[in-house]
């Protein structure tokens, strides 16, 4: 019996030693690969930044730049997922606020992390290896002078994206057409994905401003009110935003007026409507939402500003979770990042995350949609009760947020910014106007008149509607 017990004990000790050895080896391997990934990303980022300062004409090179940029953001996403955990030496369940569960990673989690980091590192190394020709050709592209406006876009490490789309639009606008008829470029994209910001950035570009004698900006309602007599024989760039469709007859009338301007004039159509592509004379530029990897990166650099996220690993984890629950909203990205950057405190950040989750679930329950989707619908309602300090005890009312894509009179109502309310540290008045202005041209202003309403005035939740329909059917 003693021999058997001794053998079993010896086997258990051997297994324990083997387990500890494998775990330590995995941790060491993970740390080494994370450091390699970090160094490689620095190299890739320098190539991307160099490309952003060059005027790239070849479509094949723009496609290579897009591939490299996408690989870079995927690499940053993996690095930002596991590097904070490596820094604090533990897994922190951010979703468990206010009592986060802290525990050591098990072998399965460690193996999964090692595999993902190693795979990302290998893919990025392969991408960089295939970019040798791209780097050589890049040196032959002309440098673009960076104006003060472009420098402004890099304040607080904010890297303006859409570089490939920007180069494509600039190439079209600077292309010399042998025909007299104006070139029409449709730029189509979803709600608030950055179409006007992109066009505003391009119109401020030095080469564009020097190429066109006049740059005009209009909305679709103004196309027949423009006096083109002042722009005859003047090369003109016209940007026009359409919220709704326009008839072919009305467009043809507008196009003939633009044709009266100087040779080489061009038109940019900005819209969400794909049907307006029919007016284009060149292939349209499609502006899609940022990928989750790029969105998370932009939120990180905006939220931390000049601070190093690796010095605040727990904040980095909370920030990554916030970037996930925002579901790609650029408004939320800018508003929240501005507030968080001024208070690098873990208690503050986790409170902001908790309040947003409460608000998100509340709107999903009442309206059946995420706040991002509701904000994209002009005139829709968003329940923001949870942001009010008083609503913690007075749950008999809700504050309704009505959004509008234009400056509207608040009727003498007190004004508050998004930053005033998202931390949940203020008592919201029964009526007020919420205002947010984009920090980038064209400095879009979003106004919202907020009022407290009794629960009886609120629309029934989608679940209650379905239950009511089922009951009626059964009768």
Report the domain count for the chain.
3
Question: Do 109 and 167 share a structural domain?
Answer: no
Question: Do 258 and 316 share a structural domain?
Answer: no
Question: Do 317 and 456 share a structural domain?
Answer: yes
Whether 62 shows a pLDDT value over 80: the answer reads yes
Question: Do 363 and 248 share a structural domain?
Answer: no
Q: Tell me the DSSP string of 93-139.
A: -GGGTTS--EE---HHHHHHHHHHHHHHHHHHHHHHHTTHHHHHHHT
Whether 170 shows a pLDDT value over 90: the answer reads yes
Question: Do 171 and 42 share a structural domain?
Answer: no
Question: Do 311 and 283 share a structural domain?
Answer: no
Tokens 């002042």 — which residue?
A: 230
What CA–CA distances, in Å, run from 204 to 49, 147, 201? Answer: 19, 9, 5
Tell me the HSE value of 425 on the side-chain side, using a 13 A CA sphere. 9
Mean pLDDT of all residues in 30-46: 92
Predicted confidence at residue 9, as pLDDT, reads: 56
Assess if residue 17 is contained within a domain.
yes
Contact call for residues 16 and 43 (beta carbons, < 8 A): no
* Residue after which a domain boundary falls, among 108, 128, 143: 143
Assess if residue 376 is contained within a domain.
yes
Tell me the HSE value of 235 on the side-chain side, using a 13 A CA sphere. 14
**Residue 200 backbone phi and psi in degrees, to 5:** -60, -40
* Residue after which a domain boundary falls, among 143, 166, 185: 143
Whether 473 shows a pLDDT value over 70: the answer reads no
- What are the residues whose beta carbons fall under 8 Å from the beta carbon of 416, sequence distance 6 or more? 426, 428, 432, 433, 434, 435
Assess if residue 470 is contained within a domain.
no
Assess if residue 469 is contained within a domain.
no
* Residue after which a domain boundary falls, among 92, 121, 143: 143
Predicted confidence at residue 371, as pLDDT, reads: 87
Assess if residue 54 is contained within a domain.
yes
Number of neighbouring beta carbons within 10 Å of residue 57: 14
Number of neighbouring beta carbons within 10 Å of residue 133: 11
Predicted confidence at residue 14, as pLDDT, reads: 54
Whether 25 shows a pLDDT value over 80: the answer reads no
Question: Do 84 and 24 share a structural domain?
Answer: yes
Predicted confidence at residue 60, as pLDDT, reads: 93
Question: Do 276 and 153 share a structural domain?
Answer: yes
pLDDT band for 234, please (50, 70, 90 cuts): confident
- What are the residues whose beta carbons fall under 8 Å from the beta carbon of 409, sequence distance 6 or more? none
pLDDT per position as a tens digit, 65-121: 999 999 999 999 999 999 888 877 644 444 443 434 344 555 666 778 888 899 999
Question: Do 437 and 343 share a structural domain?
Answer: yes
CATH of the domain at 220: 3.40.50.300
Query: Hey, what are 421's tokens?
Result: 């309310």
pLDDT per position as a tens digit, 297-319: 999 988 998 899 989 999 999 99
Contact call for residues 306 and 352 (beta carbons, < 8 A): no
The β-bridge partners of 198 are none
Predicted confidence at residue 426, as pLDDT, reads: 73
Higher pLDDT, 227 or 405: 227
pLDDT band for 160, please (50, 70, 90 cuts): low
pLDDT per position as a tens digit, 352-388: 999 999 889 988 988 888 988 887 776 677 888 777 7
Predicted confidence at residue 23, as pLDDT, reads: 47
Predicted confidence at residue 367, as pLDDT, reads: 85
Contact call for residues 124 and 79 (beta carbons, < 8 A): no
Give the span between the Cα atoms of 61 and 138, in whole angstroms.
Answer: 8
CATH of the domain at 50: 1.20.140
Assess if residue 217 is contained within a domain.
yes
* Domain extent at residue 7: 2-143
Question: Do 154 and 138 share a structural domain?
Answer: no
Percent share of the chain, pLDDT over 90: 36
Q: Is the dihedral of CA 37, 330, 63, 159 positive or negative?
A: negative
pLDDT band for 342, please (50, 70, 90 cuts): confident
Question: Do 306 and 222 share a structural domain?
Answer: no
Question: Do 388 and 325 share a structural domain?
Answer: yes
Assess if residue 47 is contained within a domain.
yes
Predicted confidence at residue 128, as pLDDT, reads: 92
Whether 344 shows a pLDDT value over 70: the answer reads yes
**Residue 5 backbone phi and psi in degrees, to 5:** -60, -40
Average pLDDT, the chain: 78
Assess if residue 185 is contained within a domain.
yes
Query: Hey, what are 115's tokens?
Result: 């595999």
Tokens 């639009």 — which residue?
A: 169
């Amino acid at each position: 019996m003693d021999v058997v017990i001794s053998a079993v004990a010896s086997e258990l000790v051997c297994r324990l030693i083997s387990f500890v050895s494998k775990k330590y080896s995995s941790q060491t391997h993970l740390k080494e690969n994370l450091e390699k990934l970090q160094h490689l990303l620095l190299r890739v980022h320098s190539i991307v930044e160099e490309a952003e300062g060059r005027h790239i004409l070849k479509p094949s090179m723009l496609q290579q730049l897009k591939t490299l940029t996408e690989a870079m953001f995927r690499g940053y996403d993996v690095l930002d997922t596991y590097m904070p955990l490596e820094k604090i030496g533990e897994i922190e369940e951010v979703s468990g606020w206010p009592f986060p569960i802290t525990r050591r990673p098990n072998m399965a989690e460690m193996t999964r992390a090692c595999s993902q980091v190693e795979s990302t590192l290998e893919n990025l190394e392969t991408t960089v290896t295939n970019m040798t020709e791209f780097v050589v050709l890049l040196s032959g592209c002309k440098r673009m002078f960076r104006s003060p406006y472009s420098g402004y876009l890099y304040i607080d490490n904010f890297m303006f994206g859409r570089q490939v789309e920007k180069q494509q639009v600039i190439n079209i606008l600077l292309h010399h057409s042998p025909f007299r008829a104006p070139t029409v470029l449709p730029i189509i994209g979803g709600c608030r994905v950055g179409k006007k910001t992109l066009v505003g950035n391009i119109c401020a570009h030095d080469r564009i401003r020097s190429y066109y004698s006049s740059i005009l900006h209009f909305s679709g309602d103004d196309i027949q009110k423009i006096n083109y007599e002042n722009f005859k024989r003047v090369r003109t760039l016209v940007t026009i935003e359409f919220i709704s469709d326009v008839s072919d007859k009305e467009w043809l009338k507008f196009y003939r007026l633009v044709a009266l301007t100087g040779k080489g004039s061009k038109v940019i159509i900005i819209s969400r409507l794909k049907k307006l592509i029919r007016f284009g004379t060149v292939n349209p530029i499609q502006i899609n939402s940022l990928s989750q990897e790029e969105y998370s990166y932009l939120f990180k650099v905006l939220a931390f500003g000049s601070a190093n996220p690796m010095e605040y690993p727990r904040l980095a984890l909370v920030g990554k979770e916030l970037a996930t629950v925002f579901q790609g909203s650029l408004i939320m990205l800018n508003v929240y990042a501005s507030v968080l950057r001024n208070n690098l405190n873990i208690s503050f950040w986790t409170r902001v995350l908790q309040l947003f989750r409460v608000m998100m679930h509340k709107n999903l329950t009442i309206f059946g949609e995420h706040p991002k989707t509701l904000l994209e619908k002009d005139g829709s309602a968003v329940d923001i009760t949870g942001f009010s300090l008083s609503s913690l005890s007075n749950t008999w009312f809700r504050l309704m947020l009505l959004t509008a894509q234009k400056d509207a009179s608040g009727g003498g109502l007190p004004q508050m910014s998004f930053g005033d309310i998202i931390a949940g540290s203020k008592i919201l008045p029964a009526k007020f106007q919420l205002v947010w202005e984009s920090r980038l041209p064209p400095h879009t202003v979003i106004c919202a008149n907020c009022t407290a309403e009794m629960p009886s005035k609120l629309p029934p939740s989608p679940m209650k509607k379905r239950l009511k329909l089922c009951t009626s059917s059964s009768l």
